[in-house]
């Protein structure tokens, strides 16, 4: 089973302070890009894998999704999601690595920044592909493989003093331990092509991909985001089941 | 028009000494992976964009391709290709940025390490998509965006003394000048997603992608190739026109 760092007290306390936890979707700089990649929500059966505090579930319901199910492994996050939630949203506690999803039960599977915690993503991708109806969408974001690859992730500088991000071990998929909000957080590095070929292998067709960087307006409001133009932090992917 | 560095005497002399120039396809470490991604060649109308010395054109003809056309901007390379060539191969000198290809004229478009020299790739991709019959394949390789991104491309080391490749300016598509075989070689950096979304935009479906690294046997025979596991040098892409 995947490390459930979100139920670690220190991690949870730190995570709860992030803008994306306090302000929800609008607190996540990549949200506008994700939203632009989503289909029209009205009437869709939506499944959110790694739903956290349920911000996306509530957003989907507000846009007249037909049904919304949020799944997460973290008891702490689900507890808060349920507090704030509409009873029309179904929240389930489950380990995404051992999840079975009813075939043909979803029009949209959404997952924000969850897949890079999973040691074995392939079985889940098979479930997702089976769960989607023909024409159904998978939309997910993960940490960029350039971010997860190095054993010692940290900025350096080039000879002009411009930030640079040293990448190594890129083709070696597997766990990477970092100290982020708490010591010993384990993320699973996968190369870009590992993600993309997994989609293809399960019969999903890539429809859009984005290595996220800030708009000029975002960078003006929060200059630290400019680092992401040097080395984007997130990859956003949408795919369709043909 | 794209810089035609291959007709620079110094560059051409250096390039002619590379294993891939001297030994052909077998001299290119990524060739086995490319070959595994190619369709059965017999009976195909093949177009090679940036054909260089014509190694792939001759290989395709040997495998009973129905017709083979090689296009390159370099007079020097085409002259050598024609010397060694079968008269059944048609070689054309043209700038790939201003190429018109007859619609429906190709079953396979192939391009090895050429696209990253083109300032404007989009018009060529439109031509390729139009040239391919439904079910036809595009197969291309380019330098990995991690390689082309930084203004000062060079290895550094992490705290364990392991090689690391500092990336910056990744989201800033455009020219990068390097000294490779000759001073002032200009390559065009594009992010991974720029390439992939361009395929999608022109109606091509991604079927396989590889960030190339050496097999154990290749690494044993040529240990310097192990660097590519830290930061792969090439991306190999295959797509199909639906």
The average confidence (pLDDT) of chain A is 95
**What is the rounded CA–CA span in Å between residue A212 and residue A216?**
13
Sole residue written with tokens 């039960």: A105
Using CA atoms, how far residue A119 sits from A152, A188, A195, in Å, is 20, 6, 13
Contact A200, A207 (CB under 8 A): no
Domain spans of chain B, in order of start: 5-143+187-241
Q: pLDDT tier at A1 (50, 70, 90 boundaries)?
A: low
Fold of A5-11+29-146+189-241: Rossmann fold (3.40.50)
Which tens digits make up the pLDDT trace of B152-208? 999 999 999 999 999 999 999 999 999 888 889 999 999 999 999 999 999 999 999
**What is the rounded CA–CA span in Å between residue A116 and residue A173?**
11
**What is the rounded CA–CA span in Å between residue B187 and residue B177?**
6
**What is the rounded CA–CA span in Å between residue A48 and residue A69?**
6
What is the CATH number assigned to the segment(s) B5-143+187-241?
3.40.50.150
Which tens digits make up the pLDDT trace of B45-65? 999 999 999 999 999 999 999
Using CA atoms, how far residue B205 sits from A204, A218, B196, B199, in Å, is 10, 32, 9, 7
Nearest-CA neighbor of A52 among A14, A19, A20?
A: A20
For B158: left if phi > 0, alpha if psi spans -120 to 50, otherwise beta; the answer is beta
Classify burial at A163, counting beta carbons within 10 Å of its beta carbon; exposed 0-12, middle 13-18, buried 19 or more: middle
Residue ranges of alpha helices (H) inside chain A are: 9-16, 19-22, 31-37, 55-62, 75-83, 122-131, 145-148, 192-201, 216-221, 227-230
A163 → chain B, closest CA residue: B168
B1 pLDDT exceeds 80?
Answer: no
Which tens digits make up the pLDDT trace of A159-188? 999 999 999 999 999 999 998 888 899 999
**What is the rounded CA–CA span in Å between residue B193 and residue B174?**
14
Which tens digits make up the pLDDT trace of A88-126? 899 999 999 999 999 999 999 999 999 999 999 999 999
CB–CB contact A206 B208 (8 Å): no
If you write DSSP's letter for every residue of A52-104 in order, what string do you get? TTSHHHHHHHHTT-SEEEEEES-HHHHHHHHHT--TTEEEEE--GGG----TT
What per-residue string of b and e applies to A20-52 under the rule 16 or more CB within 10 Å gives b? bbeebbeebbbbebbeebbeebeebbbbbbbbb
Measured between beta carbons, the chain A residues lying within 8 angstroms of B173 are: none
Contact B126, B96 (CB under 8 A): no
Say what the alpha-carbon torsion angle A108, A114, A118, A120 is, to the nearest 10 degrees: 20
ipTM score assigned to the predicted complex: 0.95
When scoring B161, B201, B206, B237 by the number of chain A Cβ atoms within 10 A, the one with the most, hence best to mutate, is: B206
Distance from CA of B82 to the nearest CA of A (A): 37
Distance from CA of A141 to the nearest CA of B (A): 14
Distance from CA of A241 to the nearest CA of B (A): 13
**What is the rounded CA–CA span in Å between residue A104 and residue A111?**
18
Measured between beta carbons, the chain B residues lying within 8 angstroms of A171 are: 211, 213, 228-230, 232
**What is the rounded CA–CA span in Å between residue B128 and residue B203?**
10
> Does A218 contact B at CB distance below 8 Å?
no
């Amino acid at each position: 089973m995947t490390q459930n760092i979100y139920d670690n007290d220190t991690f949870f306390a730190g995570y709860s302070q992030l803008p994306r936890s306090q302000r929800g979707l609008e607190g996540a700089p990549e949200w506008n890009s994700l939203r632009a990649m989503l289909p029209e929500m009205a009437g869709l059966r939506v499944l959110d894998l790694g739903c956290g505090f349920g911000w996306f579930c509530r957003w989907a319901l507000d846009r007249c999704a037909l049904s919304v199910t949020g799944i997460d492994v973290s008891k702490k996050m689900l507890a808060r999601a349920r507090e704030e939630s509409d009873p029309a949203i179904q929240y389930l506690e489950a380990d995404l690595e051992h999840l079975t999803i009813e075939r043909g039960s979803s029009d949209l599977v959404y997952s924000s920044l969850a897949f890079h915690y999973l040691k074995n993503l392939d079985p889940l991708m098979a479930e997702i592909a089976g769960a989607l109806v023909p024409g159904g969408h998978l939309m997910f974001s993960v940490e960029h493989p350039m971010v997860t690859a190095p054993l010692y992730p940290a900025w350096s500088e080039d000879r002009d003093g411009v930030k640079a991000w040293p990448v190594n071990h890129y083709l070696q998929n597997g766990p990477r331990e970092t100290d982020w909000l708490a010591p010993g957080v384990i993320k699973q590095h996968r190369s870009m092509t590992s993600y993309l070929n997994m989609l293809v292998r399960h019969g999903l067709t890539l429809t859009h991909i984005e290595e996220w960087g800030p708009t000029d307006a975002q960078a003006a409001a929060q200059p630290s985001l400019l680092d992401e133009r040097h080395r984007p932090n997130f990859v956003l992917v949408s795919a369709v089941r043909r």
